Amino acid sequence: MRVIEKAPARAISSYLYRNPKARLAGLLALPLTWLIGVYIISLFLLLITAFWFIDPFTSKVRPGFTLDNFVNLITVPAYFATSMRTLGIALAVTVLTILFAIPLGIFMAKIASPWLRNFLAVAITLPLWAGYLVKLLAMRLTFTEQGLFNWLMEPFGIRGPGFGIPVTILTLAYLWFPYMALPVFTAIRQLPNNLFDASADLGAKGWATVFRMVLPLITPAIIAGSVFTFSLSLGDYLAARFVGGTTQMIGSIIASNISLNPPVAAAFSMVPIAFVVMYLMVARRTGSLERI
Amino acid sequence: MNRKKLTIPALLAAGVLVLSGCATDSGELKLTVPDVPMKTALGEFEGELNIVNWSGFVEPAWTDKFTADTGCVVKPKVAGTSDEMVTLMRTGDYDIVSASGDAALRLIVGGDVAPLNLELIPNFSDEIAAGMKGQIYDTVNGKPYGVPIGRGANLLQYNSDVTGEAPKSWDVVWEADSPYAGKITAYDAPIYIADAAVYLMYHKPELNIKNPYALDETQLAAAVELLQQQNKIVGEYWSDPVAQITSFVGGNTVVGTSWEVLKKFAAKENLKTTLPIEGSTGWYDAWLLSTTSPNSNCAYAWMNYTSQASVNGAIAMNFGMAPANIAFCSTSPEAQAHCDQFAAEDEEFFSRIWPWTTPIEECVDGRTNVKCTSFQDWTNAWVTVKG
């Protein structure tokens, strides 16, 4: 009989082979520590502050239980208006990116030459490599009073909107466009060419093909992309600060209260979470979350 | 527009951070503060000093010599806002902070910082500008808590290509019929409520505001109403210096609140600053010592070291503010030019400035028959201003 030399690594390996539970624990220990210990706990610690008090004298946070911070979200007109404004901006950004992404996706996937398609794919993803603040300042410089936009449009008698909600929507759409364009492009690319041929054979013109064939088939991809554009817009505050003029978003209130009044900031951070959960529940019904 | 030219001052300004402060003659004013003992004698240096500071206050150019002299290794932590400074100091991990007045009084009444024994800081002398000594924001019940570093005023900046003459009054940024509606910038922080109060002190004497940092509920409501009126004509609020500079240079803003140093970075002939008839607010910075500092000997040595003319002047020039130690001004023509630009020796100028002070429930104007609004009230009010 041959004696098997058991190296330590071999010993561990055979132990794990005999114990499926230990195997599973070993596999999940690291990611679960991260997910629960770092990710969930820290978020929970932040959110629990929403139920706490602030000492008016020293601005120090005192543990306790109050729902006042949540009641204020509804009853203070400025808070409520800010939540609704942010929701509106996030929805507008999502619609805008969809409007840009579909024609571009159809062109890239079905019309453009391979060279042009690769070029456009790079052009879409390239801005992702640039810093977020750099892109914000670029938009700021573009739409400033004596900036590129007004200079280009001056011969046509058009003046830019100035910093405000429209430029904020445009800037956020610019920032999050790749997250919408890429899934939409991929989805359209997967549509067989003969579907377009069949649509034409049945007498559908261009628009009819887009609305009745392409759109229903890529809806899951659009919803997947919109989860990103919508939730990222809800949480943003630097765009409002740099190109928003006097626009105040949920993020602006959180940012200005995080040191001054953490309970209000924490209560406000629940608002985007609530919006996104509602959005995801709607999206889940369409089955498109499986495509993310 | 020359974009390349714009980016240079913008990058420079990126280092400049938001400040805050406060002021009045303390007189007989009595505030309730925790009883924190004062250090009576210096001991051995601990070898380490942890500082919370504004960007540009702690640089190797002057910390290296300090470390060589005392053996105290300086570990700076840059904070971006007064609120961040307060939060950091309350962790107890830091020995000393370069607080502006709006942070200082909060830390003092919270018992987070200790009164100072000025006998242990010989460089805190007659050379320190008179207007920076004994002010309410860092001197409470006769006890000094701060060693002055420097100060700056919140001035009215205007684009002379558009306005022509310097505006005489702040009314161009407050009144609904301002000719520059939509091209106005305002400072984006609750402490800006004090600027509205300064304007009301002059134009609405019936409100009886004696100190813009001691507002009762009626007075705060009046200030908020003025700010809400302003909100309709403001083009942009600024808290980021880069945004403010690009706004003025790019033509989006014609008039608005600014600092001398931002005008300097903008480096445009047509951008000028003025101090209107109503006066204004300003930020006065001082070193405060943590109550729980384990390195208090190093901290005292640091406060003394940075109070001498050469080091104090270096900090002031690096940041872009008036130095506290005005003996610095006569050390060189360059220093004199700096002092002149920032009005360092002009007490008449600074007598029209209300240094940023944390509003607290006890009225800092000495009234005892009413409760004043606290900074927490101001914070809540500020959100409703921006709507």
Q: Is the dihedral of CA A69, A73, A78, A83 positive or negative?
A: positive
Does residue B233 lie within any of the structural domains? yes
Same-domain status, A27 and A164? no
Q: What is the pLDDT of residues B99-108, one digit of tens each?
A: 998 889 889 9
Same-domain status, B231 and B333? no
Confidence of residue A59 (pLDDT cuts 50, 70, 90): low
Which residues touch A10 (CB under 8 Å, ≥6 apart)? none
Q: How far is CA A231 from CA A36, A178, A223, B123, B179, in A?
A: 22, 14, 12, 55, 40
* Per-residue pLDDT at A261: 82
Count CB-CB contacts under 10 A for residue A51: 17
* Per-residue pLDDT at A2: 56
Q: State yes or no: pLDDT of B24 exceeds 90.
A: no
Domain range for B98 is 48-151+283-346
Q: How far apart are CA B197 and CA B215, in angstroms?
A: 8
One-letter-per-residue 3-state SS of A213-252 = HHHHHHHHHHHHHHHHHHHHHHHCCHHHHHHCCCCCCHHH
Same-domain status, B264 and B288? no
Q: What is the pLDDT of residues A254-281, one digit of tens each?
A: 888 887 788 888 999 889 989 988 888 8
Q: State yes or no: pLDDT of B297 exceeds 70.
A: yes
Q: What is the pLDDT of residues A10-50, one digit of tens each?
A: 888 888 888 888 888 888 888 888 888 888 888 888 888 88
Same-domain status, B269 and B182? yes
Residue B276: what are its φ and ψ, rounded to 5°? -65, 170
Does residue B25 lie within any of the structural domains? no
Does residue B34 lie within any of the structural domains? no
Å between B314 CA and nearest CA of chain A: 31
Q: How far apart are CA B83 and CA B106, in angstroms?
A: 10
Does residue A69 lie within any of the structural domains? no
* Per-residue pLDDT at B25: 44
Report which residue type is found at B91. T
Q: Which of B113, B228, B236, B371 to mutate to test the interface with A (most CBs of A within 10 A)?
A: B236
* Per-residue pLDDT at B7: 42
CATH of the domain at B249: 3.40.190.10
Same-domain status, B52 and B82? yes
Q: In sequence order, what are the beta bridge partners of A62?
A: A53
Beta-carbon pairs below 8 A across chains A and B: 103
Contacts of B247 in chain A (CB under 8 A): 144
Is pLDDT larger for residue B11 or for residue A202? A202
Same-domain status, A262 and A118? yes
- Average pLDDT of B172-197? 93
Same-domain status, A23 and A114? no
Q: Which of A55, A168, A253, A260 to mutate to test the interface with B (most CBs of B within 10 A)?
A: A260
Any B CB within 8 A of A81 CB: yes
Confidence of residue A5 (pLDDT cuts 50, 70, 90): low
* Per-residue pLDDT at A6: 60
* Per-residue pLDDT at B215: 94
* Per-residue pLDDT at A287: 66
Q: Which two tokens stand for residue B187?
A: 């400072």
Same-domain status, B247 and B258? yes
Q: Do B235 and A162 touch (CB under 8 A)?
A: yes
- Average pLDDT of B50-78? 92
Q: State yes or no: pLDDT of B69 exceeds 80.
A: yes
CATH of the domain at A130: 1.10.3720.10
Structural domain count of chain A: 2
Confidence of residue B205 (pLDDT cuts 50, 70, 90): very high
Domain range for A167 is 74-291
- Average pLDDT of A104-133? 91
Same-domain status, A97 and A202? yes
Interface confidence (ipTM) of the complex: 0.72
